[in-house]
Amino acid sequence: MTHGGTVQTSSADAPVNPSPTKSEVVVAEHDTLKYHLLGPSLTKAGQDAVDQQKVSEIIYNASKGSKFFNNEEYKDKNLTQKIEKILARKRQLERIDLTSDLRRADEYIAEVELSRDLSQTVVHVDCDAFYAAVEELDHPELKHVPMAVGKGVLTTCNYHARKFGCRSGMAGFVAMKLCPQLICLPLNFEKYTKKAQEVREVLAQYDPRFQSASMDEAYLNITQYCSDHEMTPDEAVGQLRAQVFERAKITVSAGVAANARIAKIASNRNKPNGQFRVASDRATILAFMRDLPTRKVNGVGRVFERELDAIGVKTCGDIYAQRAFLSTLFGEKALHFLLQVHLGLGHTSVRPAEEYERKSVGTESTFRDMSGKEELRAKLRWIAEELEKDLARTQHKGRTLVLKIKLHTYEVLTRQVVPPKAVSTADDLYT
């Protein structure tokens, strides 16, 4: 495969834009902060029809002056400064010969294009508003009103709540400003775990080696199943979704594609209770990726999105034109990731998570503000006991122990220690 292209250079005679006034800078900073305050779950299903500008204004005014706001403002300013450095570096690069960078990017494109596999059918199954859906089974009166799971921070919310702009990861007090009638229920992981097992029992019928990505989502390779049962991918996935509903009484959405990356994106297209397939041919895949906002791609968060947007990459189709700059600005690993995204490439092999080399095992918990020594020690002991269970389940011991704490100011501190021996029991973890 060949691509044509040139690297744009700026003219020394180009007009110089006047420097922004102080008030314009403040407005611009507040605009980026308002977008930042929308949180990491902006692309969740149910948010596309929401007036995000209105939501950002409410979040901004509701949280202004809080410790949460101050921390987000601090992070946003740091990101803005980082982007200014990225743009300054890009301006320098535009004045030099980038032929070698362009050639290396094109060589990588040609190399990975050879790995494209269109013979497999990969499915990404995602439970719809999982925790909320499970709670609605026990509380059917909540099915038609805005409700969420989680108190201090929302873990998820149903689609009625999402219409108001509520989403996972949002502070509870902010959600109540967006939707005063929101009903919040406490978490019940034991209940969710049992329901997740019911879903997995169905998935195993289609691919015994399915890969759980989390409690409420999984990847399957149904190539063999479709062949054995003489079914199209659409028929097989439709049948799977119906079986899940019959067994677990909750709905799932699915994305069907030639690889896991595209399947993950596609599963969000027809939520809730729907499915979407991207045909397994190169032209369709490239067209699907071309106009896709970078934020829709797993691995591009709100920070990287803003950095890419600053250099002119708003969609996956924009990546190609900027390929000569990417390695210098973001690193070789990021270049390779972005070029694969542009091409719509991803892995086709699906296997149980246990078979991947595990580098860490962890547990975390969100709780109300506390500062008493005894309270904190009791919480640490509980976390140690939970981590012991996870280590026993995964049959691992740890050589490095890491403690991450989020302060009441929302600042995150991390400390780590290397014990004299590998640890796995709550007693060793706690002491």
Measured torsion, CA atoms of residues 256, 259, 322, 328, in degrees rounded to the nearest 10:
140
Integer Cα distance of 149 and 216 in angstroms: 14
**In 222-292, which ranges are E strands?**
252-257, 275-277
Cβ neighbours around 203 below 10 Å, total: 22
- Smallest Cα–Cα separation from 219: which of 298, 286, 151, 302? 298
Instruction: Please give the full DSSP string across 342-392, using - where no structure is assigned.
Output: HHT--------GGGSPP--------------HHHHHHHHHHHHHHHHHHHH
> Which strands sit side by side in the sheet containing 211-214, from one edge to the other?
211-214, 217-221, 122-127, 252-257, 275-277
Residues forming a β-bridge with 412: 406
Confirm if 252 and 276 have CB atoms less than 8 A apart: no
Confirm if 158 and 132 have CB atoms less than 8 A apart: yes
Q: Which residue has the tokens 């500062």?
A: 371
- Smallest Cα–Cα separation from 132: which of 242, 217, 250, 269? 250
Q: Indicate if 217 belongs to the active site.
A: yes
- Smallest Cα–Cα separation from 218: which of 228, 208, 227? 208
Confirm if 314 and 293 have CB atoms less than 8 A apart: yes
Sign of CA dihedral 174, 175, 181, 186: negative
Integer Cα distance of 270 and 370 in angstroms: 42
Distant-in-sequence, close-in-space partners of 128: CB < 8 Å, separation ≥ 6? 45, 159, 250, 251, 252, 253, 271, 272, 273
Residues forming a β-bridge with 403: 415
Verify cis geometry, omega within 30 degrees of 0, for the bond prior to 140. Answer: no
- Smallest Cα–Cα separation from 58: which of 37, 44, 36, 75? 37
Catalytic residue selected from 135, 136, 217, 305: 217
List the catalytic residues.
217
